[in-house]
Amino acid sequence: MKTGIIILCRYNSQRLPGKILRELGGRTVLGLILDRINKAVPDRPVVVATSDEASDDPIADYCRRAGVACFRGSLDDVAGRFLECAEKNGWDYAVRINGDNVFVDQRTLAEMTAIADTGVFDLVTNVPGRTFPYGMSVEVVRTAFYRDQMAAVSDMGHREHVTSWLYDNPDIGNRYLYRNLRCPAATGLDLALDDADDLDRISAVLDAAGPDVARLDMSDIARLARRQSVVSPWRGAAGPMLIAEIGGNHEGDFEAAKALAQAAIASGADVVKFQIYTGTALVSPVESPDRHAHFKRFELTPDQHIALAEMCRAAGVGYVSSVWDLESLEWIDPYMDFYKIGSGDLTAWPLLRNFAQRGKPILLSTGLATLDEILQTVAFIQSVDDRYRQPEWLCLMQCTSMYPIPDSDANLCVMDTLRAMTGLSIGYSDHTTGMMALRAATAMGAEALEFHFTLGREGQTFRDHLVSLTADEVRALKDDIAQIIALRGRGVKVPQPSEVSTGHTTSFRRAAYACRPVAAGATITADDLCVLRPAHGTDARDFDRIVGATALHAFEPFRAIVSGADYE
């Protein structure tokens, strides 16, 4: 069976003119639809079917430039246009996709075309009952069946709406109803692009989705569409949240801990972080007596930890601690807006269950772990509270649990892997020396940066001081981060304000010009033309359209040639 995809669209829609070529995130609506179709069924032919009216020339021009097949037929008889396109291409089945369906569901399209390939059904559809969102409709029609049924249909309402006659006559033909059983939460969502309000709503989903929109499945889209706009808790003054990890650098001395906290506050860090533990609650004194003794020596009392938390909060700086036993969590919890789980506790599910049940955002370090272990723990946390599927609730920190580590062990590209695999927020917890890894992580889009903090490294013997930053270094890092964030931009490829304001989008580009005199009525040849700056008149990409056209009047060399005014 030969099955092709037909995207039905026109340019001059009444409620949102030009919507099919509106740009969303630097990509046209038509381009977004094509991306999702090609990802779902890469081996199926795709044709854009628009009208033969001049108003739809922009769609045909876009298709030509994008290398996409374009069929042109009747403006009003959309059923006829759909059928002619299918017959011209010799398809046994044709898939109807509307130009307002920005979020075609890949799995649905792939499975419905596979069902049609059996040759058993005349119509495979997911429309009746509306178990899918509006804007995810897919209909696969046997071409011969459609031709026979529509031959006697003259009502222009049915011919404009393509398949409405089939639904008004449900007993005709062998049909397969494809239902949405995978994502009930998506049922009834309005994701069709019809007016300006729809455009705003879809733009918000695309902004939240990030650059690889084509990867989103129906559950991803439903989650993003239903999500309320919230400010990320991981956002800091310079961009990513900067967490100054004092950890054990106080070495059990409360006065040193206070001095470190004061210096971290003054450095401009967004959050000051400590670690709360007791040796007995963390390490077995029998199995590991030396480590047990180490942690006992670094303990601070509950009152001391609360005093440090109050100091930070009074200064308007965030406070957090890695809390390594649930008894301590009870008394420090009121001082924390989110939880930080250290790498060693990524597999401590009994503890994680308690944290997740308390319902605060979680920052989860991933040192020591394989990707499988991370994904298992993420799924476990999400099973406790579904909110942890949202990036504002769970941030995964790439981390290597050694002090210090060689640069090659920072493994920053894992951040890209975790972001792609989970759709969650991503950060970096640093154990290198210097600030290069933190700068690089910022450039790669880290939303939280954790680094150890010290008053000074000289003369210090405890290992963590070696990988720590001083207050002056944190201030310098903030300046670097602000510049890096500005350099990164938004990730949307469109002409930038400096290019637009200077007119460079026209003055730097080329258009078609006459390179010698052309007589009125002459057939224009390639030798008559050249491409020059500025891009006045016919775009250089349309050069081949001019060749063979007739000059409507005489024109001289170095004159821009305008479609419709100078040739036809």
Q: What is the tens place of the pLDDT at every residue in 273-309?
A: 999 987 566 777 777 776 666 666 778 999 999 999 9
Contact between 353 and 366 under an 8 Å Cβ cutoff? The reply is: no
Domains and CATH numbers, the chain: 3-226 (3.90.550.10), 238-488 (3.20.20.70), 502-568 (3.90.1210.10)
**Does the pLDDT of residue 568 top 90, yes or no?**
no
Q: What does the pLDDT look like over 351-368, one tens digit per residue?
A: 999 999 999 999 999 999
Lowest mean pLDDT among 113-122, 436-445, 483-492: 483-492
**Does the pLDDT of residue 229 top 70, yes or no?**
no
For 423, left (φ over 0), alpha (ψ -120 to 50), or beta?
A: left
Q: What does the pLDDT look like over 231-264, one tens digit per residue?
A: 899 999 999 999 999 988 888 899 999 999 999 9
Contact between 441 and 412 under an 8 Å Cβ cutoff? The reply is: yes
Lowest mean pLDDT among 172-176, 213-217, 287-291: 287-291
What's the count of helices (H) and strands (E) in the chain, helices before strands? Answer: 22, 21
pLDDT at res. 420: 87
pLDDT at res. 488: 92
Q: What does the pLDDT look like over 318-341, one tens digit per residue?
A: 999 999 889 999 999 999 999 999
Tokens of 497: 């304000």
**Does the pLDDT of residue 125 top 90, yes or no?**
yes
**Does the pLDDT of residue 407 top 90, yes or no?**
yes
- The predicted model gives 373-397 an average pLDDT of 96
**CA–CA separation, 186 vs 130, rounded Å?**
10
pLDDT at res. 295: 66
Contact between 139 and 116 under an 8 Å Cβ cutoff? The reply is: no
Q: What does the pLDDT look like over 496-522, one tens digit per residue?
A: 999 999 999 999 999 999 999 999 999
Q: What angle do CA 220, 357, 308 make, to 5 degrees?
A: 110
Neighbours of 495 (CB within 10 A): 11
**CA–CA separation, 32 vs 102, rounded Å?**
6
Contact between 327 and 310 under an 8 Å Cβ cutoff? The reply is: no
**Does the pLDDT of residue 1 top 90, yes or no?**
no
Q: Is residue 54 classed exposed, middle or buried when 0-12, 13-18 and 19+ CB atoms within 10 A define those classes?
A: exposed
DSSP state of 244: E
pLDDT at res. 26: 86
Q: What does the pLDDT look like over 542-563, one tens digit per residue?
A: 999 999 999 999 989 999 999 8
Output phi, psi for 503, to 5 deg. Answer: 75, 15
Band the pLDDT of 535: cuts 50, 70, 90.
very high
Lowest mean pLDDT among 145-149, 204-208, 312-316, 510-514: 204-208
- The predicted model gives 14-42 an average pLDDT of 93
Band the pLDDT of 212: cuts 50, 70, 90.
confident
Helix (H) or strand (E) holding 272: strand 271-276
How high does pLDDT run on average in the chain? 93
Q: 272 forms bridges with which residues in the sheet?
A: 244, 319
User: Which pairing describes strands 239-247 and 271-276: parallel, antiparallel, or unpaired?
Assistant: parallel
- The predicted model gives 462-473 an average pLDDT of 85
Q: What angle do CA 134, 161, 145 make, to 5 degrees?
A: 105
**CA–CA separation, 301 vs 214, rounded Å?**
52
